Structure 1
Amino acid sequence: MVRVVRFHKLGGPEVLRIEDVDVPAPGLGEVQIRVKALGLNRAEALIRAGGYIETPTLPSGLGLEAAGIVETLGEGVESFAPGDAVSVVPPPSMVRWPAYGELANFPARLVVKHPPSLGFEAAAAVWMPYLTAYGALVDIAGLRRDDFVVITAASSSVGLAAIEIANRVGATAIAVTRTSGKKQALTDFGAAHVIASAEEDLEARLAEIPGAAGVRVVFDAVGGPAFEPLTAAMSRGGILIEYGGLSPEPTPFPLFAVLSKSLTLRGYLVHEIISDPARLAAAKAFILEGLADGSLRPMIARIFPFEEIVDAHRFLESNEQFGKIVVTV
Structure 2
Amino acid sequence: MARVVRFHRHGGPEVLRIETVDVAPPGRREVQIRVKALGLNRAEALLRKGTYIETATFPSGLGLEAAGIVEAIGEGVSGFSPGEVVSIVPPVSMVRWPAYGELVTFPAEFVVKHPPELGFDAAAAVWMQYLTAFGALVDIAGLERGESVVITAASSSVGLAAIQIANRIGAIPIAVTRTSIKRQALRDAGAADVIASVEEDIRSRLQDIVGSNGVRVVFDAVGGPIFEPLTAAMSPGGVLIEYGRLSPEPTPFPLVNVLTKSLTLRGYLVHEIIRDPARLAKAKTFILDGLRDGALQPIIAKTFQFEEIGEAHRFLESNEQFGKIVVTI
Short-chain TM bin? over 0.9
Tell me by how many angstroms 1:210 deviates: 5.1
* Equivalent pair of 2:148/2:210 in contact (CA under 8 Å): no
* Equivalent pair of 1:223/1:244 in contact (CA under 8 Å): yes
Q: Which residue of 1 aligns with 2:328?
A: 328
Letter of the 1:166 partner, please give it: A
Letter of the 2:257 partner, please give it: A
> In the aligned structure 1, how far is the partner of 2:160 from the partner of 2:210?
22
Pair 1:20-2:33 in alignment: no
Letter of the 2:228 partner, please give it: E
> In the aligned structure 1, how far is the partner of 2:224 from the partner of 2:72?
46
Deviations 1:33-61 (A, max 9, x none): 00000000000000000000000100000
1:205-284 matches, within 5 Å, as 205-209=205-209, 213-284=213-284
Q: Which residue of 2 aligns with 1:145?
A: 145
Q: Which residue of 2 aligns with 1:108?
A: 108
After superposing the two structures, state which structure 1 stretch, 20-29 or 185-194, moved more. 20-29
Pair 1:81-2:81 in alignment: yes
Tell me by how many angstroms 1:213 deviates: 2.8
Letter of the 1:134 partner, please give it: F
* Equivalent pair of 2:151/2:173 in contact (CA under 8 Å): yes
Q: Which residue of 2 aligns with 1:179?
A: 179
Deviations 1:199-240 (A, max 9, x none): 111111111115573110000000000000000000011000
Pair 1:130-2:130 in alignment: yes
Give the share of equivalent positions with the same residue, in percent.
78
Letter of the 1:23 partner, please give it: V
> In the aligned structure 2, how far is the partner of 1:172 from the partner of 1:261?
22
Q: Which residue of 2 aligns with 1:201?
A: 201
TM-score of the superposition, structure 1-length normalised? 0.99
Q: Which residue of 2 aligns with 1:300?
A: 300
> In the aligned structure 2, how far is the partner of 1:161 from the partner of 1:234?
22
- What stretches of structure 1 move > 6 A for 4+ residues in a row? none
> In the aligned structure 2, how far is the partner of 1:246 from the partner of 1:319?
10
Secondary structure, aligned partner of 1:186: helix
* Equivalent pair of 1:6/1:61 in contact (CA under 8 Å): yes
Q: Which residue of 1 aligns with 2:169?
A: 169
Deviations 1:219-264 (A, max 9, x none): 0000000000000000011000000001111111111111111110
> In the aligned structure 2, how far is the partner of 1:138 from the partner of 1:168?
11
Any unmatched runs of 5+ in structure 2? none
Any unmatched runs of 5+ in structure 1? none
Q: Which residue of 1 aligns with 2:64?
A: 64
> In the aligned structure 2, how far is the partner of 1:210 from the partner of 1:20?
55
Letter of the 2:218 partner, please give it: V
TM-score of the superposition, structure 2-length normalised? 0.99
Deviations 1:61-114 (A, max 9, x none): 000000000001011101100001000000111011000000000010010000
Letter of the 1:220 partner, please give it: D
> In the aligned structure 1, how far is the partner of 2:62 from the partner of 2:205?
40
> In the aligned structure 2, how far is the partner of 1:306 from the partner of 1:297?
24
Tell me by how many angstroms 1:323 deviates: 0.1
Secondary structure, aligned partner of 1:78: coil
> In the aligned structure 1, how far is the partner of 2:304 from the partner of 2:248?
29
Letter of the 2:324 partner, please give it: K
Secondary structure, aligned partner of 2:24: coil
Alignment coverage as a number of residue pairs = 329
Letter of the 2:134 partner, please give it: Y
> In the aligned structure 2, how far is the partner of 1:139 from the partner of 1:28?
31
Secondary structure, aligned partner of 1:114: coil
* Equivalent pair of 1:148/1:172 in contact (CA under 8 Å): yes
> In the aligned structure 1, how far is the partner of 2:16 from the partner of 2:160?
28
> In the aligned structure 1, how far is the partner of 2:117 from the partner of 2:305?
22
> In the aligned structure 2, how far is the partner of 1:217 from the partner of 1:62?
33
> In the aligned structure 2, how far is the partner of 1:103 from the partner of 1:157?
25
> In the aligned structure 1, how far is the partner of 2:190 from the partner of 2:175?
9
